[in-house]
Amino acid sequence: MARLLIIGALTAELGLAARMATARGARLAQAEGVASGLERLRAVGADLVLCEVTHDIGWLVEQLAAERIACPVVACGRNADAAAAVRAIRAGAKEFLPLPPDAELIAAMLAAAAGEADAPVHRDPAMAALLDRAAQLATAQASILITGESGTGKEVLARHIHRSSRRMQGPFVALNCAALPEALLESELFGHEKGAFSGAVAARRGKFEQADGGTLLLDEIGEMDPRLQAKILRVIQEREVDRLGGGAPIKVDVRLLAATNRDLAAEVQAGRFRADLYYRLNVLALHIPPLRERPLDILALAGHFAIRYAEANGLPKRALSPAAEALLLSHPWPGNVRELENTLHRAVLLARGPAIGPEAVELTLLAPLPQAEPRPAARAEPAASRSLSGLVGRKVEEVERDLILETLSHCLGNRTRAAEILGISIRTLRNKLHEYRAQGMPVPAAHPPLPWPMEA
């Protein structure tokens, strides 16, 4: 169930949009202006903001970014007011909803905001067995530890568990623990009072408070600093949080899900993860097998992504040709479902003709390629020399720049996924791209607009 905040008067066409949203199950809140809307977002959060173009959308987007409130803003206005739509998009709105509203378009936005568009797609018995176990565990209140390689769909499974649980009417809140430095992560988790630190211009509820009555997913929890691990353990035990700069604990009712691609048991043995927190999180466990171990899911997912990205880009829906399917089935998918999704998005954009042929399926082989037989008279070159021969003589800054830009191109401009692959924060990536633009370097365009919201 999506939480929708409408900024503007609930009269006429905007009121109709509100009624359509509530008819689709959205939990609706309303604010008269962007300042009161920002206060509402600080207090209780939202999954989606619908804001009239007559308001200062640019100011709202800037404030959300400055206070690290991750909530997409959709502008809305009369269909004939094209200039206002352009101004809103330039000001930072992700999409423009023409008024009078279309019920199906609103439904699609709400479904995507609530994560319903990402329900698990599967055909392989291994995944079917996992989802059966997830359904069995969903009705419990205990914590669940979700493990699996990067890109297997841990957040998708977490959302599926939430929608199948007794907390489905409550919020689902997710936080990537690897995406923020320790100081910012602490504020994101536990919230802060006004003046608690430089830049804390207003009180802010943390993720635990935002998820009150619902589910909180801590993704990549294996990356969390041990000091914060101790604070998480206290929240689990006491069911209360202490805001930074706060004077009294705040009670919370949250079901905690944690996800990681690390072996937490090994991390405990190595002293990098607290054993007591591990046992608290690992009450129930689900392991998502890599895509190479559930081959029947490959074509099911490929067909799903082909339809999604055709619709997103206004292109005709094309089926995969037999040759393209064979190519997909032969690939080891080291990047799992995320790699498959990027591959199909690229294929949809490159395809020509009535079907998606093998020429549109561009695969990246990360596994070592077979080596040619050495020449009899030649001396075998050391592997390290072969791998570094193209780098000798180049500056570190140049190598870093090429790696970042190549990774971004591989991810079709998706900043979030490129940062994940590179192992850096999204802010670091954006700062690097800003530097490259200032140097006159061509930077791949951002991820094409998708049905709401496909990119964080």
pLDDT in tens, 221-233: 999 988 899 999 9
Q: Which residue has the higher pLDDT, 125 or 416?
A: 125
Q: Where in the chain is the domain with CATH 3.40.50.2300?
A: 3-114
- The pLDDT score that the predictor gives to residue 38 is 92
Residue 412 has pLDDT above 70, yes or no: no
Q: What per-residue confidence (pLDDT) applies to 417?
A: 73
Q: Write the class of the CATH domain 118-289.
A: alpha beta
Residue 421 vs residue 187, higher pLDDT: 187
Per-residue confidence (pLDDT) for residue 392, from 0 to 100: 55
Average pLDDT on 414-443 reads: 80
- Decide if pLDDT at 160 tops 50: yes
pLDDT tens-digit readout, 171-209 = 889 999 988 887 788 888 998 888 777 667 778 888 999
pLDDT tens digits for range 288-297: 999 999 999 9
For residues 122-127, give the mean pLDDT.
92
Q: Is pLDDT of 375 > 50? A: no
Q: Is the pLDDT of residue 391 over 90?
A: no
- Say yes or no to pLDDT of 118 above 60: no
Cis bond upstream, residue 98 (ω within 30): no
What average pLDDT does the segment 382-393 reach? 43
pLDDT at residue 379, as a whole number = 37
pLDDT 10s digits, 96-113? 888 888 777 787 777 666
Task: Tell me: pLDDT of 395 over 80.
Answer: no
CATH 1.10.1040.10 fits 394-438, yes or no: no
Banded pLDDT at 66 (limits 50, 70, 90): confident
Q: Given 3.40.50.2300, 3.40.50.410, 3.40.50.80, 3.40.50.2020, which CATH number is that of 3-114?
A: 3.40.50.2300
Q: What is the mean pLDDT of the chain?
A: 83
The answer, yes or no, to whether residue 241 has pLDDT greater than 50, is yes
pLDDT digits (tens, 9 = 90+) for 309-331: 888 788 889 999 999 999 999 99
363: nearest Cα among 327, 407, 310: 327
Q: What is the pLDDT of residue 112?
A: 65
Most confident listed range (51-65, 145-159, 365-379):
145-159
Residue bearing the bigger pLDDT, 114 or 318: 318
CA dihedral 219, 221, 222, 228 (to 10 degrees): 160
Residue 80 has pLDDT above 80, yes or no: no
Per-residue pLDDT, averaged over 120-124, amounts to: 89
> Where residue 449 falls among pLDDT bands split at 50, 70, 90?
very low
Percent of the chain's residues with pLDDT above 90: 41
Considering the chain, what percentage of its residues have pLDDT values greater than 70? 86
Q: What is the mean pLDDT of residues 250-272?
A: 94
Q: Which of the four CATH numbers 2.40.50.660, 3.40.50.920, 1.10.3470.10, 1.10.8.60 does domain 292-360 have? A: 1.10.8.60
Look at strands 215-219 and 255-260 and give their pairing.
parallel
Task: Please give the pLDDT value at position 264.
Answer: 93
Q: Is 140 left (phi over 0), alpha (psi -120 to 50) or beta?
A: beta
Residue 258 has pLDDT above 90, yes or no: yes
Judge if pTM exceeds 0.75.
Answer: no
**Alpha carbons 289 and 153: distance in angstroms, whole number:** 10
Model confidence at 381: pLDDT above 80: no
Please say if the pLDDT value at position 307 is more than 80.
yes
The pLDDT value given to residue 399: 75
Within the chain, which residue ranges are assigned CATH 1.10.10.60?
394-438
Question: Which of 165-174, 192-201, 356-365, 381-390 is the least confident region?
Answer: 381-390
* 299 vs 95, more confident: 299
Query: Residue 355 — pLDDT band, cuts 50, 70, 90?
Result: very high
Question: Where in the chain are all domains bearing CATH 1.10.8.60?
Answer: 292-360
**How many other β-carbons are positioned within 10 Å of the β-carbon of residue 402?**
12
Whether residue 1 has pLDDT greater than 70: no
The predicted pLDDT at position 92 comes to 85
- Give me the amino acid identity at 40: R
User: Are 6 and 18 a contacting pair, CB within 8 Å?
Assistant: yes
- The segment with the largest mean pLDDT, out of 29-38, 192-201, 431-440, is 29-38
- Place 448 in a pLDDT band, splitting at 50, 70 and 90: very low
